Amino acid sequence: MMPQNYSEFNSTLQLSDPPKDWPDALKAMWYDAQENWDAAHDIAQELHSKLGSWMHAYLHRKEGDRFNAGYWYRLAGRTYPDISLDVELQKIVEFILEGNG
């Protein structure tokens, strides 16, 4: 079942895996929230869309690779953010939950 908001998304982090019926974008952010960067990145790099580019940018920013992140933010049509990673994670999850995933 799809979470209705970020709080419900967070409550799923107690699960051992993300629900199978979730869109791949939401699964990727679930893995990221679980500190599984590799699993999140594996999914994000296969999403050939502005959302996938945004997620890819966020993940490389989290990794500390500002140059690579900047490239992906440009592909996503977004400026390099000055918000915390936690806030950006929430923004991406909320964007997906609004039907953009």
40-81 residue pLDDT tens? 999 999 999 999 999 999 999 999 999 999 999 999 999 999
2-45 residue pLDDT tens? 899 999 999 999 999 999 999 999 999 999 999 999 999 999 99
Q: Residue 89 in contact with residue 44, Cβ under 8 Å?
A: no
Structure tokens of 88? 């950006």
- Amino acid letter for position 86: D
pTM: 0.95
**Pairwise CA distance, residues 13 & 48, whole Å:** 26
Query: Can you give the pLDDT at residue 53?
Result: 97
**Domain boundary assignment for the chain:** 24-100
Q: How many residues does the chain have?
A: 101
